[in-house]
Amino acid sequence: MWASVWEGWQKYKPYLIALTIYSSSRLVVLWAMYIAARFVLPAPRMGLSDLVASTSWYRYLLRWDSIWYVTIVNEGYNYNGDVFDPQSVVFYPLYPLIAKALTIFPGIDGWLALLVVANVAAALSVLLLFKYARQDYGDEVAFSTIAFFSYFPTSLFLSAGYTESLTLLLILTFFLLLKRKKYVLAAACAGLASATRSTGLVLLPVVIWELWRQFAGDRRRFFSYALLCSVFATSGLWLYMAYLWSAFDSPFVFIYNHSAAWQNAGLSHKFISALLLKGFFPLRFGQEAIDVSFFLLFLTLLLVYRKWLPSSLFLFALGILMLPYLTITGGPLKFTAMTRYILLAFPVFIVTAKLCKDRLWLVPCITGVFATLLFTYSALFAQWYGIN
């Protein structure tokens, strides 16, 4: 009996340690918000709703986009026909849909449901990330990966009312299924990710690439699987567009309305501006400089050490970095929220951990820098400062 208990403990001990590392980073987030509530003056909310669980201790995790998501949970989608008026149709449906399902339980309102979904998904994501990194790179790299990821400054959004946790959980499940060559199931996970946020579309070229590698000598089988997986991998987006068409007579209204949410800059204008590198000039100090620095650091690490990653991981991470750059942040918005977007580029954390494998003294140094920024970001976020 005791032998089996000991074997079970040894089997699950690394995963418990990984969760402990992540939990310690959540203490930094909560401590920062506690300090901010007492010593940091709130920023102007620019007309945002004041109905943010005003008496609940967790209200500091419900800022900005969380208001849109809880509106969807409580009222469903609304659209008044004005594409220049920011509205809820910009936000993808899976996250608020799951949160809505939780509200059937007594004592769980829309606000709390958003946090339950986000935090459960975050804990599961940490376990899957540790499992993935451990299988290919060993325990040492896996633990360092979890430390860097958990303390990364924008990891606070894993605990807030945002989609990062759920998206990452679906992405990691996708890669674990892909490793087992369960292509259709992996594509289904990609479809769920595409119903959570646009980032999910990055998984489509990944599954197509893996299919090409697997069936390069059998073109008919490749095209059959590629067609089926393409439909599954984009199903979340198509289903959402079908709903918008039915409800508002416009399947592309989420794209049209997105220009209102992002300073009325059209997609083509942002794309051309990104290609011309306009987002880099002029570069201001402060949050903008931090966003640019992390973007360039992640891109450099990915390109220089690309051979350390399987081709599918490299393709995915490159897509995670370039999709927001080319469509949102590389133009007039000048890297707004880029540090949050690149949080999902988990292969870069693996590369960083591998770099530190023979330089273990770097792990606490990097983690310490990240923890300082995490504390700062969390305190500012809690009081409505736009660090997202």
The number of distinct structural domains making up the chain is: 1
The pLDDT value recorded for residue 289 is 85
| pLDDT at 1 exceeding the cut of 60 | no
- Percent of the chain at pLDDT > 70 equals 88
Residues 6+ apart with CB under 8 A from 169: 121, 122, 124, 125, 128
Rounded distance, CA 148 to CA 165, Å?
16
CA–CA distance from 367 to each of 79, 145, 379 (Å)? Answer: 44, 10, 18
Residue 52 lies in a domain: yes
Residue 259 lies in a domain: yes
The pLDDT value recorded for residue 334 is 77
Token duo for residue 220? 């008919």
Rounded distance, CA 287 to CA 303, Å?
24
Asked if 90 and 307 touch (Cβ cutoff 8 Å), the reply is no
pTM of the model: 0.94
Asked if 54 and 42 touch (Cβ cutoff 8 Å), the reply is no
Asked if 167 and 344 touch (Cβ cutoff 8 Å), the reply is yes
Residue 223 lies in a domain: yes
| pLDDT at 305 exceeding the cut of 80 | yes
Residue 373 lies in a domain: yes
pLDDT confidence band for 315 (50 / 70 / 90):
very high
Interval 139-151 mean pLDDT? 97
Taken as a whole, the chain contains a residue count of 388
CA–CA distance from 354 to each of 301, 349, 351 (Å)? Answer: 11, 9, 5
The DSSP call for residue 197 is -
Rounded distance, CA 322 to CA 316, Å?
10
pLDDT confidence band for 326 (50 / 70 / 90):
confident
| pLDDT at 355 exceeding the cut of 90 | yes
Q: Read off the pLDDT of residues 35-85 as tens digits, 9 standing for 90 and up.
A: 999 999 888 765 555 555 556 788 999 998 999 999 999 999 999 887 778
Nearest to 377 by CA among 79, 86, 154: 154
Nearest to 236 by CA among 183, 198, 288, 293: 198
Residue 33 lies in a domain: no
Mean pLDDT over each residue of the chain, to the nearest integer: 89
Token duo for residue 272? 């051309």
- Asked if the bond preceding 282 is cis, omega within 30° of 0, the reply is yes
DSSP string of 249-261? S-TTHHHHHHHHH
What is the domain range of residue 228? Answer: 47-382
Rounded distance, CA 222 to CA 132, Å?
26
Residue 216: exposure state from Cβ atoms within 10 A (0-12, 13-18, ≥19): exposed
Residue 21 lies in a domain: no
Residue 152 lies in a domain: yes
Residue 106 lies in a domain: yes
